[in-house]
Amino acid sequence: MVFISDIIERLDPYTGIIVLAFAALITIFAGFSKNNGIKIFIILVSALSYAAAFYLIIYSFIEYGPRDGFLTSISLPELILSCIILFIGLNVLFFISVSRFREDSFIRIVILLTFSLIPVLSLIMADNMIFIFTAFALTILSIFTLISSLDREIAGSGEAIGKFGIRTILPITLIFLGFSVLIGAGGAKNLSGYGGIESAADPLLLVSVVVFACAFYFYFFLYPFQGPYLKIVRRISGGAISVLWFLYMPAGIILLIKFNRFFDSFIEKNNIYAFTIITVFAFINLFGAAVGAIRAISLKRILSMFLLFEIGTMVLARSAGSLGMTSCRFASYYDLTVLIIILIVFLPLQLLIMLLEKNTGKDIIAGTRGLAYKNIYIGICVIIIFLWWIAANIYVFPFEEFISGSGPMSHGPGGLILFIGYIIVLLLMAVNIFRMILVFFKKLPETGGPKNYAVPRIFYAYISVFVLLALSISILIIIGKMDIGQDHLRIWSSSFDIFSSGN
Partner 1 sequence: MSSELVFYIAMVLFLISVFGLFVSADIVSVFIAYQLMTAAAIINFLNFSVYMETGQLWIKVFLIIGLLTIYLLAFVVFFYIYSNTETLERKTIIKDHRLFRLEKSDWWGEDNI
By CB under 8 A, name the binding residues for partner 1: 129-130, 133-134, 137-138, 140-141, 144-145, 148, 156, 158-159, 161-163, 165-170, 172-174, 176-177, 179-181, 183-184, 187, 189, 207, 224-228, 230-231, 234-235, 288, 291-292, 295-298, 301
Nearer to partner 1, 343 or 429 (CB): 429
Q: Tell me how crowded residue 197 is: count the other CB atoms within 10 A of its CB.
A: 12
Nearer to partner 1, 418 or 429 (CB): 429
230, 228, 223, 227: which is closest to 163 by C-alpha? Answer: 228
CA distances from 2 to 6, 9, 13, 17, 36 (A): 6, 10, 18, 21, 39
Minimum CB distance to partner 1, residue 40 (Å): 30
Minimum CB distance to partner 1, residue 436 (Å): 16
Report how far Cα 131 is from the mean position of its chain's Cα atoms.
Answer: 21
CA atoms of 95 and 416, how far apart (whole Å)? 43
Nearer to partner 1, 64 or 70 (CB): 70
Nearer to partner 1, 227 or 456 (CB): 227
Minimum CB distance to partner 1, residue 171 (Å): 11
Nearer to partner 1, 169 or 376 (CB): 169
Per DSSP, the residues of 227-289 read HHHHHHHHHS-HHHHHHIIIIIHHHHHHHHHHHHHHHHHHHHHSHHHHHHHHHHHHHHHHHHH
User: Which DSSP helix (H) or strand (E) runs through 298?
Assistant: none
Nearer to partner 1, 55 or 176 (CB): 176
Minimum CB distance to partner 1, residue 350 (Å): 19
Minimum CB distance to partner 1, residue 294 (Å): 9
CA atoms of 19 and 3, how far apart (whole Å)? 17
Peptide bond connecting 224 to the previous residue in cis, omega within 30 degrees of 0: yes
Minimum CB distance to partner 1, residue 33 (Å): 24
Sign of the torsion formed by the C-alpha atoms of 376, 439, 241 and 84? negative
Nearer to partner 1, 105 or 500 (CB): 105
User: Which DSSP helix (H) or strand (E) runs through 343?
Assistant: helix 328-360
Minimum CB distance to partner 1, residue 134 (Å): 6
